[in-house]
Amino acid sequence: MRAHHIMTKDWITVTPHTTIEEAAKIMLQTHISGLPVLNAAGTLVGVVSESDFLRRNEIGTGRKRPAWLQFFLGPGKVAAEFVHERGRRVEDVMTPDPITVDEETPLEELVRLMEKNDIKRLPVMSGTTLKGIVTRSNLLQAVASMAHEIPDPTADDDHIRDRIIRTVNKTDWRPIGFEVTVRKGIVHLHGIITNDKARQATIVAAENTAGVKEVHDHLCLVDTYSGFYVESPEDMKAAS
């Protein structure tokens, strides 16, 4: 999937001269956490988001620094903070020159950019034209939509077993003596693990295999230092 598959196309925008009050009201009324900022020519010049309203003089959250620290920060930095906390227009608080992507950017790259730059939205551009916005909510919707994938016609019991074994055996956390049995899409996992993270990862690998209906955990935990042996929680519950 790529940016154009999940982006929001009908996005509300503001201008650099939109007032702070108006921008805040738009975000509250539309339940949007950020707005693209377009100039008179329709060119993207910034993004204004909820985080830009955190440090504001009106609500008493402006930065209060001792004089000696302001000296080291320099007059330019202090002046910029003053504008951000007391400015009346969007251009005073927005993030200028935001990171953007194009319509063909894959989801993997979208996530990488969001994580690396600690941002929640990416404007999607075609040249200098804003085509849409990809937000973390769009990615969440993409995850939810995967529940409606078309079933795999080759997902019979033998294929399921082979795929689980192949996936798990390629990892560093694979269980010792790993075995899988499958009947009518119901999977049973057997083997020895040395930590519960490996248990969770093995179960997830099975659950993500096409055609799997249920996963039963029979993985035994062995402490590598003491040799202490513990059956799976599922097996212990069945035995009680």
Q: What is the pLDDT of residue 126?
A: 94
**What 8-state DSSP symbol labels residue 8?**
B
Beta-bridge partner residues of 44 = 38
Residues of the chain with CATH 3.10.580.10: 3-146
- The domain 3-146 is classified under which CATH number: 3.30.450.20, 3.30.1310.10, 3.10.129.10, 3.10.580.10? 3.10.580.10
Q: What is the pLDDT of residue 148?
A: 53
Domain 157-239 has CATH 3.30.1340.30: yes
Q: What is the pLDDT of residue 175?
A: 95
Q: Which of the residues in the chain have pLDDT under 70?
A: 62-63, 65-73, 78, 146-153
Instruction: Yes or no: say if 132 and 153 are a contact pair by the CB < 8 Å rule.
Output: no
Instruction: Yes or no: say if 212 and 221 are a contact pair by the CB < 8 Å rule.
Output: no
Q: What is the pLDDT of residue 75?
A: 72
Residues of the chain with CATH 3.30.1340.30: 157-239
Instruction: Yes or no: say if 161 and 182 are a contact pair by the CB < 8 Å rule.
Output: yes
Helix extents (H) in the chain: 3-6, 20-30, 67-73, 75-86, 90-93, 107-117, 136-145, 157-169, 196-207, 233-239
Q: Distance of CA 64 to CAs 26, 60, 67, 81, 178, Å?
A: 29, 10, 9, 11, 60
